[in-house]
Each structure stands twice: as structure tokens, then as C-alpha cells.
Structure 1
Amino acid sequence: MKKTITLCFLLLTQSLLSNSAIAQEDKTPLVPLPSVDDFTKGENGWAFGLGLGVEYEAAYEGSDEYGFEVDPAGAVQWRSGDNIFYWAGEALGWRGLRDNRWLVDVAIGFDEGREESDSDDGHLDGLGDGEEGMELVMQLRHTFDDNWRYWVDGRIVVTENGNLGLLGMGKRFGEKNDGSGHEIALAVVYHDSDYANKDFGIDADQAAASGLPETNLSGGFRSVGLNYNYRHYLNDNWQIFGEAVYEQYLGDIKDSPIARNDYEAEIGLGVIYVF
């Protein structure tokens, strides 16, 4: 599976790069969206952003336990014209702008999986640790104007433990086109049965160990979600960013004993220094 994902990534990026001009006018940023970080300042070559983010989030998918978590933020990026290759956390990817209206993003990431110890209240006791695995994320976003005020997008996540799809639309606020300002997006999310059971299913062995009823979920609608992004430049080097996410579960996810809430919410704030 890992070799297949890597091969798909290399073939896709090679094909797209071969059809685009490398030398183009410098642009800051690649697209003016707060949700898409770009530390290159419109210049070709290497760029680095490093910082910290503090999130208040659920302990695991469907949890009613919430707490604070501090994570590193930022990325290493290399820009060539309308293409940026990046390494951000556990993801290695490429994004490119085509005809000023299409943003393509492909990344290989790592899913750490859920751990039984994620629940301090013992709600996951007997369920064991979730499987880790690689994932391939492909996203296509289209704007209806050159300023990226309104856009639609589609995203596919292919993993070793199931697949997920997303359809969304968004609007950008703010007067500047430098990537700062506010952005809000609405999305509907689908998943197959493997992905649904990865987080919310309970097999026979888990049921016997945990005392929870055996649960086998089908694919289909997973949730509807609302996402808010904010980015502000304090000066040429320092950025403040924020994000708030709300996801309302749909379908039989709500019937899973693991889903102690029928929603999930998250809010985060952080700061990044751009070198």
C-alpha cells in the first residue's frame, strides 16, 4: 500500500509539473486564503515557518472528554513558480495553482490511530489501540473569481483502513489578498464502511473485552461540518492564526457506543515565525 501511494504521488506531480511553466511572476501568496499557508513571500526557493499552536479538542473521535493540547506549527516549503512542495508535521505534499482558478493539493500523511489510553475516563477500555497507517489526500479547489472570494472544493482521503470523501464551499473575508483575514467553509463528509468502523465500529473480540455491544457500521453520510480560519500578520515575520471546527455526525455513527457525543468541536490558536 505504501509503495502504491508513493508511486501515485510521484506520477501525478510529475505530470502536472510538466504542463506548467516554472518561471512565472512572483505572487504572494499562491492563493490568498487564510486556510492555505504560504511562507514563501512570493519568492522561488526555500521557506520556513516554525511556531506553536494550542488546541482545545476532543480526546478522540466521538469523545465527550475535552482538553488542551500543544502542537508544533509551521512547515518547510519550496516554491517554483505556481508550485509549492511542503513538509508539514507528518505530511509531505505538493500544491499547485492552475489558470489562477484551480488549486490542486496532493499529500502523503500518517494516521497515528486511536489509543486505548486516549480516554482518561476509561471509555475505550477493552477496545485496544487503533491501527496506524499511511494516507493519501487529494484535494481540488476552484474559485469563481480571481480574488478567491468564493470557492468550492472536493477532497478524497485514501487510507489503509478505509476511504473518506468531502464536498465543500467557502467564502473569504478581508480586504487584503496576502493570505490574511477570515475564511468560513461548509462541508458534507462521506465515508465507506471500513473508515466508519475504524473509529466507531466494535468487533466481536472488542465487544467481549469491553462489555460494549458489537457494532458494525455501513458507509454513507458521515457528517456535516463548519470550519472557520483566521490569519493575521503582526509584521513581516510573525503570524497569528486560529481555527474553529464543528462537525455534526449523521447516520448510524450516532448509534455507536463509542460516539458519546453526536458532534465534535475544536478550537485552536497559534503563532508562527517565518524565516
Structure 2
Amino acid sequence: MKKLKLIAAIVTAMSVLTLTAAHAEDETPLFPLPFTPDFTRGSGWGVALGLGVEYETAYAGSDEYEFELDPAGAIQWRKGNHLFSWEGVELSWTTRQKDQWYIQVELNYDGEREEGDSDDGRLDGLDERDDEFTGTGEVRYAFDGEWRNYVGTRISVGDSDFGALGFVLAGHRFGSRQDGGGTEAILYAKFADSNNLNREFGVSPSEATTSGLAETDLDSGYRSSGLRVVDRRFASEYIQIVSGLEFEYYSNDVQDSPIAREDFAAELELAVLYHF
């Protein structure tokens, strides 16, 4: 996954040198949501590039936390109410319909898990989880045209090694800004099929033998609930500062897995972007 991020960062930097941004006078973003950036200034091409730092668990269920530096930013193209975006190893199409509907389709990678992700040897004897292509669809409905409050659902699917992962969510945008700045909070619940749950929290019979952990086979169902808060600030016309906080609490079945060393996961993130 780290190699993929490095390749994406190099290609993005090369693209910045060759793209010419064309901006319209109308700079209204596709959505005023801090979590959904629109770098196009209304239409045509938009480019932002920067660096982010995350403090997060070493893997799902871990009690080990680590800092990680990641490239940040995106290359986007907008035509009317349609926004096409390339961000890292993710391609997406996002559209606003009738002012109150948000629809997004994505193609991206789900990252791997390796023994070396745990410095304390918690994953010794467990099989590596490979990178997987996933397809994602998301729909949100706002209760007003200003997107102050909304509800939605998000579903990601892959092959049998990934399975299916679904969200139901409710969001609130604080303040009345319409430029994509400010603060947004999202409450969510996650549901997954057995393939997805066992990808992160299961222990197969062969893994139980080599690792010494109890064999664990999880059924489809409720995975976790959480809260995500995102804040986007404009330090200048070209500099954006994005910060985030997320807390996720696992279901009882997940907590019973020997992979889940904690009942919860937390994440802090900060990124500085230059908006060309």
C-alpha cells in the first residue's frame, strides 16, 4: 500500500506540471461540506497538493498507535453538477441532483495487513491480507438545500477476499458557510458480511495453529458505530488546513475476537493543502 501511495504521489506531481486549470467566475462548490472538497472553483480543472499526518491504530483492532505521513490532495474536473476526482489510488464521480441528493461512485483500493504492522508481534502467525480493488456507491439526502443536516448510506463491495461493507450515516454541518469551509460531524453505523468481518477480525483454523490465537469465525451483521468530525479552514486563497477526529466502537462480536485488542479505535489527522 505504501508503494501505491508513493506512485500516486509521483504521478500527481507530474500531472500538476502539465495541467492548466480553467476556472469559471462562479466558485460555488458542488457541496458546501468540509468532508467533500471541490478544488475546481466552480468548473473545469482543479488541483490541490499537500502533505498529511495521521495518528491511528496500526491495524483494525490494534492497541498500538503510530504516526504516518501521507501525500494529500486531488486532481478534479467539474462540469455543471458532476465532479470527477482522482485522489491517491481512488477514482470517483460525484453528482448533486435536485440540490438535495448526493450520489457518488468510487473505485479504490483496500489496504493490506502484514505481520510487520504490529511491533509487539500481535499478528505473528496470521496470513497477510492483500490489497483489494473495491467498488463503492454512496447516496445522501439533505433535508434542505444548504446541506445543514442529511442522512445517507454507503456500500463497498469486492471479491470474496474483501466481501461487502455498508454504512448508514447522519451528518450535520455547523455554521452557514457555503464555500466548503467550517466543521462537519458524521454519526455512522457499519455492517459487514462474514468475508469482510473475517478479513480483519477472523482467525482461520490454520492461523490458529500457527499463531496460538483462538479460532474465530464471525457471521455477517453489525460491525461498529462511530463519530467522525472534519474541519476545513482557509488560511489564504491558496492554503487549506484540514483536520479530522474519528472514534469507532466495535460490536460485542468483534470485541470477542483475539485480533481486537481494544474495544474501540481512534484516529487524528491533519493535512495542509496548496490549492492551485
TM-score over 0.5 (shorter chain) = yes
1:75 and 2:74 aligned: yes
Return the letter of the residue paired with 1:247.
Answer: E
CA contact (8 A) 1:25 1:81 kept: no
Return the letter of the residue paired with 1:180.
Answer: G
Moved over 3 A (4+): 24-27
2:145 aligns with: 146
The 5 Å alignment of 1:52-91 reads: 52-91=51-90
1:267 aligns with: 268
1:220 aligns with: 221
- TM-score, structure 1 as length reference: 0.89
2:202 aligns with: 201
Distance 1:252 1:176 in 2: 41
The 5 Å alignment of 1:102-121 reads: 102-121=101-120
The 5 Å alignment of 1:1-275 reads: 26=26, 28-42=28-42, 44-160=43-159, 161-275=162-276
RMSD after superposition: 1.3
CA contact (8 A) 1:48 1:74 kept: yes
2:11 aligns with: none
List per-residue Cα deviations over 1:114-134 (Å, max 9, x = no partner). Answer: 111100000000002112210
Gaps of 5+ in 2: 1-23
CA contact (8 A) 1:29 1:179 kept: yes
Distance 1:159 1:152 in 2: 24
1:9 aligns with: none
CA contact (8 A) 1:26 1:81 kept: no
Return the letter of the residue paired with 1:127.
Answer: L
1:175 to partner: Cα distance: 3.0
List per-residue Cα deviations over 1:219-257 (Å, max 9, x = no partner). Answer: 110011101000011111110001111100003111110
Gaps of 5+ in 1: 1-23
Return the letter of the residue paired with 1:248.
Answer: Y
Identity rate, percent: 47
Distance 1:155 1:128 in 2: 28
Distance 2:130 2:272 in 1: 32
List per-residue Cα deviations over 1:7-65 (Å, max 9, x = no partner). Answer: xxxxxxxxxxxxxxxxx9945110000000110111x2111110111111000000000
Return the letter of the residue paired with 1:34.
Answer: P
- TM-score, structure 2 as length reference: 0.89
